[in-house]
Chain A
């Protein structure tokens, strides 16, 4: 079994919320080493060398992202994105709740690496308990002298500000998040300028995912080569996947990237009794489905992209043959339509149109032409929006309409016999 315990080490065994427990297991040692032995450039170099790719969804190489910051002497900010709301994703929440100090250490390392003295933690509004846990961890770390002025007796000082979202998926998008942090309406910003150049309060800013940052202490501890040697060369390292859907043991599992999908299914307990998996959505609500014949594909960024889908945030949803894909499509379309900030014409109008159409199909008012309409509308709303949310509807909808067209057609004609598997 390829399950590993790197970021998840100790979870469920000891109380990692206690700073002493965390420290006894080597916690904050890398933070101390960074400040007393390493220059920011060393950490940035190690991160680059490790090949770490962002765990927030886009999979952008973390070291490269940091390198875009202009050297202009302006204050710069690190923002930790803990808005986790991508359908099917629940790994950041676990890290926040179970190992808040590891997250904080990652934030501190990231901030130091980019030369920032002020980091921001943006926590999804609904994570009420996670927020309290993190605040307590921050208080402990502050009391221990790990946050504040002259950390470890050096002349380096760092502040961490925690901000809670107010319940909008779009605020996970990095520029909407920055607007929200600034107290503005949570809607994505027009790019350029990019956050690296003009981000929070107009200053150079890096936004990184919780898991991305929580990985940093391990890269420092074990060296970039240790990380780079795991998994395929362009998708190195470990990843926490959130597996859900028609499996027996849904949950978070930490695995090396490149593990075949079928193995991930087994890790999660396999399909339910007597059932067969017919489809898998491998990278969150915005990703296109793969199907039974694709289960032997290795789970990594590039393989997923080559097969027309994506790894995204690592949320894997398995569907067995009992799935009503019309309802599944509606659930996701409704989500994206509901969460659209409404700035862009195609996203605002197109999502709503598809939702209305699917609702009508499900309530028996479908037309033959609706199948083409679903494909055509979802296609024409894609690729012309301001942020990626608008492009999130087509992949799943189009993939299941094409694959399970009889189900959709069945609704149009005979609502009672719909579960025709592919």
Chain B
């Protein structure tokens, strides 16, 4: 790419006001600098001009015909009129055509009150219709897929939805089918519209044609109470609006101006995973184990029991016998309180690492999202961002499709990015693609520390050669970076969580408090070992929303709050300290973890910092890091991440190796307890290459079991999928599914095929005529 010089500016007149804007600016954008608004439907700043709706007509002196402001670049001396008889006539004509066959749905339309068609009709529409015939009648509720419904009568064919699916996600499944008056939005394949970003099309749709199944007919804009906050579903930290209607969360919306983080988009996990807040299975009172059962107790009793349990443990065996796990899902303020309280008690066994991710800080080359977008080469190592940091992946797609970047992966996982990807198999491959590249962005999943360390030394080499490198760590918990930065790590001589489990096995850990973490489902030592160790702890406290696999083992369960129910700060993967505002009242009986900790401290008569001190520490700028990926400081002494990565892995030897990947809709918490999203949760699947499936003689839809080579662990009833792009001799499964937890398996492990059932034996209905 050649360096562009400083942008030339152009002077023109809009409605009599002289303006100067950079050359190449579109008239529609230039008009925003004077106080005039040119109406648009198909134009969108992020999608660019399309010139379809024709509502943005303006008059440009010396041009005989009206011009569309959305595709006319400014020119020196241009004189633009956005009003006047000619313009009004043109717009009135377009409005008349738009409304001609548009149904009179406003009173029942979800968009009513925030609809551009409704708004511009007030400005340019005529009172009565000149249509003497019946309006065209079209399907009112076409099911486009698991998330979206199309009202074809309302569609004005602006193609914003299809262009989003083309330009932004690159998935290209949405198309305009048929032509003229008969055209309709559909998928090219005829299959349901499935995308991890589908909800954005409902926002882009300027009318009420595309609606979310979760919001359809649920509310009207004027009944919604809106709060801006940060999404806490993953570590990207997208800004979003929460719209609450009389105490229930109606929907979430993107923040279009959030260029720095979300680029104006949301993923469907962040957008739609709101059904769990009001799920009947929420725990709404502290639960104390009595034999085989739990009894509900009051908060005073709960805090007393908690304090007593801690005091017993401390008294009997000292602070070494006490541990704390969690923080990746807490707010900074809560982490500060938790760490301070434990320090006060002398407890050093602290860790946030309840899953596979071992490290959260990308280190000394940490970059911004803008730098990632500007990279010439993007290297993803380990699990790809498409499933761990969805909206970040949109930036990768943008860098590749709009800015000419190259995308390469290392680690044997499918990239899932819908742009050209080169999977690399060796360190030499990586060095080869780097030749001639000046700006590199590296995204690592933080799982395999040893791989991270090799990566770090390679990166140091590139930097020494003058390559500009920025690094990113896309992990599992949304505030892992906050937890790590604010001290939820083993203190001097303290144990990491794997060490705590070891101590528990040996009867040396007498009390463990877990905050918002589910190691039984996620920790790489495997559900059975983790559960076994937890069950040996005399006093296990779990702060949770639901009765998860881990909570079920607790002696005391504390009903927590999350996401939109509390206020504070988090740190996203790019290191931005972001505010979380309370947007929704939590169910009575629950408490924010921070409030639990304040009560516990009071009960223990322990000194903790006051609110101002907490806030100051929670929002302090992150100190500059000196280390890199895979630093020895994160090593646990005990091996929790067995993986050496698929890429560098052992030869298949005729056997089968496993790749354990992420899915944005996997998990045992907010997603598992959200019935509105049941259709989006992935089936436990085993994905194979066609050749491997043929070799094993399995077919799409068959069910099979996988056994670890020791035979100790198994995954049962996996549904066979076949993916032409999958590597041979590898079976890909999804992590974090309560029906088939794969956490005891690591990338590259050898596995053997267990029992299997043919598809038609299972579902005879499928073969009936």
* Residues in chain A within 8 A of chain B (CB atoms): 168, 170, 185, 187, 190, 192, 337-346, 348-353, 356-357, 360, 367, 370, 373, 377, 380-381, 383-386
Residues in B with CB closer than 8 Å to A367 are 132
Nearest B residue to A380 via CB reads B93
Question: What's the minimum C-beta distance from B699 to chain A, rounded to whole angstroms?
Answer: 32
Q: Are A353 and B131 in contact (CB under 8 A)?
A: yes
Total inter-chain residue pairs, C-beta < 8 Å = 96
Question: What's the minimum C-beta distance from A179 to chain B, rounded to whole angstroms?
Answer: 12
Q: Are B180 and A380 in contact (CB under 8 A)?
A: no
Residues in A with CB closer than 8 Å to B89 are 380
Given contacts A190-B71, A342-B180, A384-B65, 20 further A-B contacts (CB under 8 A): A185-B176, A187-B179, A190-B51, A337-B180, A337-B181, A338-B180, A339-B179, A340-B181, A341-B179, A342-B157, A342-B176, A344-B51, A344-B53, A345-B94, A352-B180, A353-B100, A357-B132, A377-B130, A384-B54, A384-B93
Asked whether B47 is an interface residue with its Cβ less than 8 Å from the other chain, the reply is no
Q: Are A190 and B49 in contact (CB under 8 A)?
A: yes
Asked whether B57 is an interface residue with its Cβ less than 8 Å from the other chain, the reply is yes
- Assembly CA distance A28 to B163 (angstroms): 46
For B180, give its contact among A192, A351, A386 (CB under 8 Å). Answer: A351
Residues in A with CB closer than 8 Å to B57 are 384
- Assembly CA distance A168 to B71 (angstroms): 26
For A349, give its contact among B66, B97, B133 (CB under 8 Å). Answer: B97
Residues in A with CB closer than 8 Å to B175 are 185
- CB neighbors of A among B88-107 (8 A): 89-90, 93-94, 96-98, 100-101
- Assembly CA distance A192 to B94 (angstroms): 22
For B97, give its contact among A168, A350, A386 (CB under 8 Å). Answer: A350
Question: What's the minimum C-beta distance from B89 to chain A, rounded to whole angstroms?
Answer: 8
Residues 141-180 of chain B, each 1 if its beta carbon lies under 8 Å from chain A, else 0:
0000000000000001101000000000000000110111
Q: Are A345 and B131 in contact (CB under 8 A)?
A: no
Nearest A residue to B182 via CB reads A342
Interface centre among A192, A385, A386 (most CB of B within 10 A): A386
- The answer to whether residues A345 and B52 also contact, given A185-B176, A351-B180 and a CB cut-off of 8 A, is yes
Name the interface size band of chain B. 35 or more
Nearest A residue to B175 via CB reads A185
Q: Are B181 and A342 in contact (CB under 8 A)?
A: yes
Residues in A with CB closer than 8 Å to B94 are 345-346, 384
- The answer to whether residues A352 and B181 also contact, given A185-B176, A345-B156, A384-B90 and a CB cut-off of 8 A, is yes
Q: Are B54 and A344 in contact (CB under 8 A)?
A: yes
- Assembly CA distance A185 to B162 (angstroms): 12
Question: What's the minimum C-beta distance from A360 to chain B, rounded to whole angstroms?
Answer: 6
For B52, give its contact among A340, A344, A381, A383 (CB under 8 Å). Answer: A344
Nearest A residue to B157 via CB reads A342
Q: Are A342 and B179 in contact (CB under 8 A)?
A: yes
- Assembly CA distance A338 to B183 (angstroms): 11
Q: Are A348 and B93 in contact (CB under 8 A)?
A: no
Nearest B residue to A376 via CB reads B130
User: Closest 6 A-B residue pairs measured CB to CB?
Assistant: A349-B97, A380-B93, A190-B51, A340-B180, A352-B181, A342-B183
Question: What's the minimum C-beta distance from A384 to chain B, rounded to whole angstroms?
Answer: 5
Nearest A residue to B98 via CB reads A345
For B53, give its contact among A339, A345, A377 (CB under 8 Å). Answer: A345
Q: Are B100 and A168 in contact (CB under 8 A)?
A: no
Interface centre among A187, A349, A353, A381 (most CB of B within 10 A): A349
Nearest A residue to B166 via CB reads A184
Question: What's the minimum C-beta distance from B430 to chain A, rounded to whole angstroms?
Answer: 31
Residues in A with CB closer than 8 Å to B97 are 345-346, 348-350, 353, 381
Nearest A residue to B156 via CB reads A345
Where chain B touches its partner, the secondary structure class is: loop
Question: What's the minimum C-beta distance from B570 to chain A, rounded to whole angstroms?
Answer: 42
Q: Are B157 and A348 in contact (CB under 8 A)?
A: yes
Residues in A with CB closer than 8 Å to B181 are 337, 340, 342, 348-349, 351-352
Question: What's the minimum C-beta distance from A16 to chain B, rounded to whole angstroms?
Answer: 37
Residues in A with CB closer than 8 Å to B51 are 190, 344, 386
Q: Are B66 and A383 in contact (CB under 8 A)?
A: yes
- Assembly CA distance A346 to B156 (angstroms): 11
Q: Are B133 and A357 in contact (CB under 8 A)?
A: yes
Nearest B residue to A366 via CB reads B132
For B179, give its contact among A340, A357, A384, A385 (CB under 8 Å). Answer: A340
- Assembly CA distance A386 to B72 (angstroms): 13
- Assembly CA distance A391 to B52 (angstroms): 15
Q: Are B53 and A190 in contact (CB under 8 A)?
A: no
For B54, give its contact among A170, A337, A345 (CB under 8 Å). Answer: A345
- Assembly CA distance A384 to B93 (angstroms): 9
- Assembly CA distance A381 to B130 (angstroms): 14
Interface centre among A341, A348, A386 (most CB of B within 10 A): A348
- The answer to whether residues A345 and B179 also contact, given A357-B133, A367-B132 and a CB cut-off of 8 A, is no
Interface centre among B50, B65, B71, B133 (most CB of A within 10 A): B133
Question: What's the minimum C-beta distance from A180 to chain B, rounded to whole angstroms?
Answer: 12
Q: Are A346 and B49 in contact (CB under 8 A)?
A: no
Question: What's the minimum C-beta distance from A144 to chain B, rounded to whole angstroms?
Answer: 41
Q: Are B180 and A348 in contact (CB under 8 A)?
A: yes
Nearest B residue to A372 via CB reads B130
Residues in B with CB closer than 8 Å to A338 are 180
Nearest A residue to B101 via CB reads A349
- Assembly CA distance A168 to B183 (angstroms): 14
Asked whether B55 is an interface residue with its Cβ less than 8 Å from the other chain, the reply is yes
Residues 626-648 of chain B, each 1 if its beta carbon lies under 8 Å from chain A, else 0:
00000000000000000000000
Question: What's the minimum C-beta distance from B542 to chain A, rounded to whole angstroms?
Answer: 54
- CB neighbors of A among B59-78 (8 A): 65-66, 71
- CB neighbors of A among B26-67 (8 A): 49-55, 57, 65-66
- Assembly CA distance A367 to B130 (angstroms): 12
- The answer to whether residues A360 and B180 also contact, given A344-B54, A345-B53, A381-B97 and a CB cut-off of 8 A, is no
Nearest A residue to B95 via CB reads A345
Asked whether B136 is an interface residue with its Cβ less than 8 Å from the other chain, the reply is yes
Question: What's the minimum C-beta distance from A382 to chain B, rounded to whole angstroms?
Answer: 9
Nearest B residue to A170 via CB reads B179
Question: What's the minimum C-beta distance from A185 to chain B, rounded to whole angstroms?
Answer: 7
- Assembly CA distance A383 to B90 (angstroms): 9
Residues in B with CB closer than 8 Å to A360 are 132-133
- Assembly CA distance A324 to B616 (angstroms): 85
- Assembly CA distance A377 to B97 (angstroms): 9
Q: Are A373 and B130 in contact (CB under 8 A)?
A: yes
Nearest B residue to A386 via CB reads B51
Interface centre among B71, B180, B182 (most CB of A within 10 A): B180
Nearest A residue to B64 via CB reads A383
Q: Could you show 21 A-B contacts with beta carbons less than 8 Å apart?
A: A170-B179, A187-B179, A190-B49, A190-B71, A192-B71, A337-B180, A340-B180, A342-B182, A343-B52, A343-B157, A344-B51, A344-B54, A345-B53, A346-B94, A348-B97, A349-B97, A351-B180, A357-B132, A367-B132, A373-B132, A384-B93
- The answer to whether residues A341 and B71 also contact, given A190-B50, A349-B100 and a CB cut-off of 8 A, is no
Q: Are A385 and B180 in contact (CB under 8 A)?
A: no
- Assembly CA distance A380 to B100 (angstroms): 14
Residues in A with CB closer than 8 Å to B52 are 343-345, 386
Nearest B residue to A339 via CB reads B180
- Assembly CA distance A348 to B71 (angstroms): 20
Interface centre among B53, B55, B93, B176 (most CB of A within 10 A): B93
Question: What's the minimum C-beta distance from B439 to chain A, rounded to whole angstroms?
Answer: 24
Question: What's the minimum C-beta distance from A349 to chain B, rounded to whole angstroms?
Answer: 4
Interface centre among A346, A350, A381, A385 (most CB of B within 10 A): A346
Q: Are B131 and A385 in contact (CB under 8 A)?
A: no
- Assembly CA distance A345 to B91 (angstroms): 11
Residues in A with CB closer than 8 Å to B55 are 345
Nearest A residue to B50 via CB reads A190
Nearest A residue to B102 via CB reads A349
Residues in B with CB closer than 8 Å to A192 are 71
Residues in A with CB closer than 8 Å to B50 are 190
Residues in A with CB closer than 8 Å to B131 are 353
Residues in A with CB closer than 8 Å to B156 are 345
Residues in A with CB closer than 8 Å to B49 are 190
